[in-house]
Amino acid sequence: MMDPKLFSPLKLGDLTLPNRIVMAPLTRNRALPDGDVPHALNATYYAQRAGAGLIISEGTQISPEGKGYIQTPGIYSDAQVAGWKAVTAAVHAAGGRIFAQLWHVGRISHVSLLPDGQVPVAPSPITANSQTFTASGFADVSEPRALETDEIARVVADYRKAAENAKAAGFDGIEVHAANGYLLDQFLRDGTNKRDDAYGGTADNRTRFLAEVFEAVTGVFPSKRVGVRFSPFSGFNDIADSDPVATFSVAMARANDAGLGYVHLVEGQTGGPREFPANAIETLRANFSGAYMANNGYDRKMAIDAVETGTADLVAFGSLFIANPDLVERLRLDAPLNAPDPQTFYGGDAAGYTDYPSLEQAA
């Protein structure tokens, strides 16, 4: 019998993915504390998972201002680029493909994490009812200040430079993080964006920053090697919109206009229930002609069915990839899966990071 379509190749422009199973971006807080630099342990972790059709790196801050948690890696310094170069080399040596997820957290940060104790930036000076993880443990996020209109070009330039650094580090492409209540998502949503300039008000205005980021990064990577992540129906990090289908229809159209390779959608609550309005995803997808990557709570049967029926072109898995470095092979064989240990998700050493056994090791 032929393998299900989930295990068949897919082309993103000139890049061929050998299967449609994607390792989702996963914050693990294991960069070196001095400089937020990726290192050898990270290279081992990603290389172990190179059987994925595509790996999307953990969120990687584009600048010191974009940091929101301790020991998350950056992609703005020479040391970080060198660290990532070792990671991508390890993944490629193992036969894999890896995109960098470019991240700016916006208001989801704390003054202790930012240079010189500066305050976080946001579309509007509205403090999130959320916490972040600092050197002293969990803390309420700090009150942000609104980005001035003339500062937005600076942040767009940071995205461009981060894309250039990702290319120099050997990444095969990039994913723009516009989900989960971070900076770009904050601009998209009318609950967090109360601006009265060209970047606020209508959905066209609220997606302007996003479109400028797309233009910047597709000047570095071919557009089909660029994706974007959205979470239209998630309230994660105290985010909300009065009409997410309307807002994200415009955002999807912006991605389509930029010629992006894929849209990566969190279907429902981030890490929670798959709750969204009837036909909402179909409505959103009608605005985008590239590949559609589905995410949130998928198991083997759901993923196979989604790709067979065309409901999705790619399916991203998160915690299952944490616990199963050879997840693609396990799904292909319908083999038992290791259970992830949430106690080791964030921070620490090799335990719960690179010590989950493959099928071969378990045997």
List the catalytic residues: 182
Q: Which residue's structure tokens are 């990064």?
A: 217
Distance (Å, whole) CA 334 – CA 343? 26
Distance (Å, whole) CA 269 – CA 267? 7
Evaluated on CA atoms 69, 72, 73, 75, the torsion sign reads: negative
| Cβ neighbours, 10 Å, residue 38 | 29
Contact (Cβ atoms closer than 8 angstroms) between residue 79 and residue 121: no
Distance (Å, whole) CA 214 – CA 80? 23
Distance (Å, whole) CA 106 – CA 206? 15
Distance (Å, whole) CA 286 – CA 195? 29
Q: What is the DSSP string of 79-125?
A: HHHHHHHHHHHHHHHTT--EEEEEE--TTS--GGGSGGGPPPEESSS
Q: Which residue's structure tokens are 């797309």?
A: 214
- Backbone phi and psi for residue 219, each to the nearest 5 degrees, phi listed first: -80, -10
| Cβ neighbours, 10 Å, residue 275 | 11
Distance (Å, whole) CA 206 – CA 87? 35
Strands (DSSP E) found in the chain: 10-12, 15-17, 21-23, 54-61, 98-103, 121-122, 131-134, 137-140, 145-146, 173-177, 226-230, 262-266, 291-295, 314-317
